[in-house]
Amino acid sequence: SGCGTFTCLSSAIAAVSGLLMGYELGLISGALLQISSILALSCKEQEIIVSSLLFGALFASLTGGFLIDRFGRRLSIIIASSLLVLGSLILLPYESYEILIVGRIAIGISISLSSIATCVYIAEIAPQHRRGLLVSLNEFMIVTGILFAYISNYAFASISHGWKYMFGLVIPLGALQAIAMYFLPPSPRFLVMKNNDEAAKKVLERLRGMPDATEELTMIKSSLKDEHQYSFLDLLRSKNNMRARILVGLALVFFVQTTGQPNILFYASTVLKSVGFQSNEAASLASTGIGVVKVVSTVPAMVFVDQVGSKTFLCIGSSVMAVSLVTMGLVNRNIHMNFTNVCRSQSPEDFFLKRPGNFTVTNGSLKDLFAGMASTERLSLDVQRSPDVARTGELNRTALAGSKSTTGSHMESGEVPVVLKWLSLASLLVYVAAFSTGLGPMSWLVLSEIFPGGIRGRAMALTSSMNWGINLLISLTFLTVTEVIGLSWVCFIYTIMSLASLAFVIVFIPETKGCSLEQISMELAK
């Protein structure tokens, strides 16, 4: 069938990058609790620590495309894994604010570079009838990594210097991936780009498990004949419809961010507490519960994308997101909420609740990085005012869970109706599932398909940089916007963006199921 064990194994090893990325994105919220206490960090200093990964990722997305196209997808993954190990090693020996920033920047560069290179590598080694499944494997690994990070946050929360264990867990896996990638073949399309046709033929025969891959090699050579001559500026020109292709890619990542899931998930525990869930329920749901929903929801998209098509999943996901967002908005309009800035009105119990962090994937979302940010000074004041929190100098998990403090409460007095409480929960979970089935995995599959091989790395890097940039912008404005217009109107705005996403997909996104990368490129060039 052309998708033998070796192809699947190569894709799985490359997709370990997704597992490492998801873990790094999910763990900072838990690690930051201990770090901020040890170093007595202010809210601004905590924001700088978590934002440093974003700036590293943004830098890599702007420059990584040239590395991927010049030196290859496989080598880029090896470099990214090695940099992740180096960044993690930098963090462990010291308890320094400056060292933390340096280490986080290195990790940000690593996960950004690997996210681009992995999608391109898997897309180029996969047979056309299994490309959707294998590329979506990377998204599945990302959400699995996030779930592992949530579990790690709980496991090491009460251990002295547990944050070092959290950061250190990725070191063996990152090193093993770098070593394993060294023994895997380069992308056959990259080899053709470098005029190494004989090596490309051998790689194809090994990947496809067949004695002669001349036909596929001929198709690749025909498609790539002129593509290696592309320059970066060609992405902005009408040649071979490149301007339209890059605009489609940029619009797609725009909708990934502006449909709001990253921010909604970041504040999942706060939202759920505000609609009547007690602390233990909210904390559990906002961490491992949502992580499990994301993992489970990604599976059907990954398994059936080659039969159903990425465009269909994008349409279904955007439609269901719009319905669930309307429901959330209507529910929140019937519940009086005081949704205020985390850094200014976070109670000790809330601070504990936000420890696990909340994040979407895809890809490319970093809202979990901001989870758990609360002012150390504010915490100290809140603890002094709370008669039920032991004044031992350490906010341990048991004390926080048992706290009856109402300082900074997000709810007015009175019980929230049970129907509204459970309707809010159900709509949030459906929203998470819809994103994890549609925009989450499918956007990056489409992006890995619509650009010519000669410029695919640079095109992916450009769309990735927009993804990280919008991610950062929205993260820094979400609290302000929510305070001004209220969470219900934020949900309604996200509903409009979901419907706009649906219309965009219907009109502009091509259906690529069952087509080779060369067929897709030739069709889109018309």
Report pLDDT for 272.
62
* pLDDT classification of 80: cutoffs 50, 70, 90: very high
For residue 76, the model assigns a pLDDT of 93
Architecture of the structural domain at 1-184: Up-down Bundle (1.20)
Residue 461 contacts residue 62 (beta carbons within 8 Å): yes
Model confidence band, residue 3 (pLDDT cutoffs 50, 70, 90): low
The percent of residues above 90 in pLDDT, for the chain, comes to 21
Q: pLDDT tens digit string along 240-277?
A: 778 888 898 899 999 998 898 766 655 555 566 556 66
Give the integer Cα–Cα distance in Å for 397 and 328: 30
Residue 293 has a CB neighbour count (10 Å cut-off) of 20
Residues of the chain with CATH 1.20.1250.20: 1-184, 231-344+416-525
- Whether the predicted pLDDT of 425 surpasses 90: no
Give the residue-averaged pLDDT of 70-77.
90
348, pLDDT greater than 70 = no
Which residue did the predictor score with more confidence, 495 or 289? Answer: 495
Q: Measured between alpha carbons, how far is 107 from 87 in angstroms, rounded to an integer?
A: 5
Q: For residues 374-402, give the mean pLDDT.
A: 37
Q: What's the pLDDT band for 93 if we cut at 50, 70, 90? A: confident
Instruction: Give the model confidence (pLDDT) of 268-325 as tens digits.
Output: 555 665 566 655 445 545 567 777 888 899 888 888 888 888 899 999 999 999 999 9
Contact 166, 150 (CB under 8 A): no
Pairwise pLDDT comparison (44 vs 266), residue with the higher score:
44
Query: In this model, does residue 386 exceed pLDDT 60?
Result: no
pLDDT exceeds cutoff 90 at 77: yes
Mean pLDDT of 349-361: 37
What pLDDT, in 10s, does the model give residues 438-465?
998 888 888 888 887 667 777 888 888 8
Helix or strand (DSSP H, E) at 152: helix 131-155
DSSP state letters, 190-259: HHHHTT-HHHHHHHHHHHHT-S--HHHHHHHHHHHTTGGG--GGGGGS-GGGHHHHHHHHHHHHHHHHHT
Distance CA 295, CA 123 (A): 21
- Mean pLDDT across 352-372: 38
**Confidence check: pLDDT of 106 > 60:** yes
pLDDT of residue 471: 78
Q: Mean pLDDT for the chain?
A: 76
Quick one: pLDDT at residue 238? 75
Gap between the Cα atoms of 286 and 522, Å rounded: 45
The rounded distance, in Å, linking the Cα atoms of 249 and 243 is 10
CB burial of residue 525 (10 Å; 0-12, 13-18, 19+) = middle
Q: How confident is the model at residue 356 (pLDDT cuts 50, 70, 90)?
A: very low
pLDDT (0 to 100) of residue 475:
67
Instruction: Kindly report the CATH number that applies to the domain delimited by 231-344+416-525.
Output: 1.20.1250.20
**For residue 380, pLDDT beyond 60:** no
Average pLDDT over residues 402-426: 57
- Categorize the per-residue pLDDT at 47 as very low, low, confident or very high, splitting at 50, 70 and 90: low
pLDDT of 369 reads: 37
pLDDT > 70 in the chain, percent: 74
Residues 6+ apart with CB under 8 A from 359: 25, 26, 146, 262, 265, 266, 365, 366, 367, 368, 369, 371
